[in-house]
Amino acid sequence: MAATQEVNAQPTVDLSNRSSDSSMAPSAAVLSALGGAIISQPRVQLISFNTDGDAASVQNFLSAWSQSGVWQQMTQEYGIGPLEVAPLLRANLDWADFVMDGASTGDANSNIESAIIANLDGDAPPWGMADSNTVYVLEMPSGVAVAPSPDAASACDAKTLAWHGAVTLPIRNITVTYIVLPACGSVQALSLVDTKTFALSHTLVGAVTDPTGQGFAAIDAAHAAWQVAGQSPEASDLCHQAMYQSGHLVWRGSNVPQALARTWSNVAARSGRAPCVPAIDDEIFLTAAPSVNDTIEVAVGADQKVTSVTTVGLSLAPGAARDVPVVLASYPQNAGVFAVAATEVGSEDLTLTLSSTQGSHGQTLTLHVAVSANPALRQQVVRLTSTQGDVSFSQYFLVRTPNIAQVKS
């Protein structure tokens, strides 16, 4: 099975309960389940192909995270129980210089999935008897380039620090979940170990809440813009979208020794405060919420798993323009003035002009949205980002351009 997850279904939503008061900010996006499997009693097995000390540090991080109560804070609302951490396993494999993951042509498995099958299947597998509750983390060796799919570039070149997938063991006929942790070096201000723990924590939450792409992997239809913008709506991905360019994506605590990636919480989002957990003490929350009320049809998903969804957004013909009220809010309400920016995600069909590039709680700005006369796409995503210092939060909405011949979305 491929290492990437795709959504092929979408929950419906009753659009009749939208407020008729255009000054009201929309409700928070809801991470929804598709009805497929989750790993409710997870176990994690770190398998390292390195001889350095990083693996021991990552193992200590996993143990501290699982015992701190932070794991439960991040996953319990999705039906996930305590995390069991298996002893570190150091293994030796003769990897190629360039290793592929994901589906490959014909009946052959990818390099990584072949290695998993060879070492976890059968009566006496080298990595121990596999079970479907265990997530196997492959800490790849330095000097080996890894691609998440046969047609992709090196993961490190693409800044893909980790991903998860699932593969069926043919002899035992069980599906196991795995995470690939490439040796990409450090990123931004993080150390090498912090980079690994940040990427691993981000991906492990996704692996247990959405192991095969049918778990918590969809956004409620009223907020379909979030899914169109990100394509991969898992818990940690959604938090990354909400805190785009924010310095608060990383959490550190006295009881967890390395960098931890925060994850989306439906409960926190409904509170009107920062939607990501673990919570940060005295964290400011900022939002610039668009007031759009047209009922539109949009496509969500990727590749062959695209579904049409009824949602709310802005319907604009080619060459047309409209003004959108943008309601500013903050927590606490006296957080002061913050910057607001409007950008188009993934296309160049719109001209976006804000009446002001800053404001404070309770103010309403105006966003002028104009569609080009010959748009390349018939649906566009607009991101509204609110920033104060190193704190940044984003909202998304859709612009639908009907009656154009292009079939791209």
Per-residue model confidence as pLDDT tens digits over 257-295? 899 999 999 999 998 889 999 999 899 999 999 999 999
Domain identity same for 44 and 133: yes
Residue 82 DSSP code: P
Kindly state whether residue 24 falls inside one of the protein's structural domains: no
Q: Is residue 19 over pLDDT 50? A: no
Q: Is residue 407 over pLDDT 90? A: no
User: Each residue of 179-194: pLDDT tens digit?
Assistant: 999 999 888 789 999 9
Q: How confident is the model at residue 403 (pLDDT cuts 50, 70, 90)?
A: low
pTM value is 0.88
Kindly state whether residue 13 falls inside one of the protein's structural domains: no
For position 387, what pLDDT does the model report? 95
Domain extent for 315 = 288-400
Domain identity same for 174 and 43: yes
Domain identity same for 262 and 302: no
Residue 299 buriedness (CB in 10 A; 0-12 / 13-18 / 19+): middle
Domain identity same for 88 and 213: yes
Yes or no: say if 177 and 130 are a contact pair by the CB < 8 Å rule.
no
Domain identity same for 269 and 302: no
Query: How many C-beta neighbours within 10 Å does residue 321 have?
Result: 13
Spatial CB neighbours of 37, under 8 Å, sequence gap ≥ 6 = 211, 212, 214, 215
For position 17, what pLDDT does the model report? 31
Domain identity same for 227 and 354: no
Average pLDDT over residues 394-408: 76
Q: How confident is the model at residue 6 (pLDDT cuts 50, 70, 90)?
A: very low
For position 107, what pLDDT does the model report? 54
Domain identity same for 319 and 262: no
Domain identity same for 210 and 309: no
| Domain final position from 239, 264, 280 | 280
How many whole angstroms separate alpha carbon 342 and alpha carbon 397? 11
Q: How confident is the model at residue 12 (pLDDT cuts 50, 70, 90)?
A: very low
Kindly state whether residue 242 falls inside one of the protein's structural domains: yes
Kindly state whether residue 253 falls inside one of the protein's structural domains: yes
| Domain final position from 280, 304, 336 | 280
Phi and psi torsions of 188, nearest 5° = 50, -130
Domain identity same for 58 and 174: yes
Kindly state whether residue 298 falls inside one of the protein's structural domains: yes
Q: How confident is the model at residue 148 (pLDDT cuts 50, 70, 90)?
A: confident
Kindly state whether residue 7 falls inside one of the protein's structural domains: no
Domain identity same for 243 and 168: yes
Domain identity same for 187 and 47: yes
Q: How confident is the model at residue 231 (pLDDT cuts 50, 70, 90)?
A: low
How many whole angstroms separate alpha carbon 217 and alpha carbon 35? 10
Q: Could you tell me what percent of the chain has a pLDDT over 90? A: 67
For position 188, what pLDDT does the model report? 78
Whole-angstrom CA distances from 203 to 4, 189, 260, 324, 342 are: 12, 20, 11, 36, 29
For position 405, what pLDDT does the model report? 52
16 vs 303 pLDDT, higher one: 303
Whole-angstrom CA distances from 141 to 33, 92, 257 are: 35, 10, 23
The tally of CA atoms less than 13 A away on the side-chain side of residue 155 is 28
Q: How confident is the model at residue 110 (pLDDT cuts 50, 70, 90)?
A: confident
For position 14, what pLDDT does the model report? 30
Q: Per the structure, how many domains does the chain have? A: 2
Average pLDDT over residues 301-316: 81
| Domain final position from 254, 280, 306 | 280
Integer distance in angstroms from the first to the last C-alpha of the chain? Answer: 26
Average pLDDT over residues 92-112: 76
Kindly state whether residue 8 falls inside one of the protein's structural domains: no
141 vs 152 pLDDT, higher one: 141
CATH number for 372: 2.60.40.2310
Whole-angstrom CA distances from 377 to 44, 232, 315 are: 42, 20, 13
For position 16, what pLDDT does the model report? 32
Give the mean pLDDT of the chain: 87
Domain identity same for 357 and 327: yes
Kindly state whether residue 130 falls inside one of the protein's structural domains: yes
Residue 38 buriedness (CB in 10 A; 0-12 / 13-18 / 19+): buried
Of 337, 371, 377, 372, the C-alpha closest to 357 is: 337
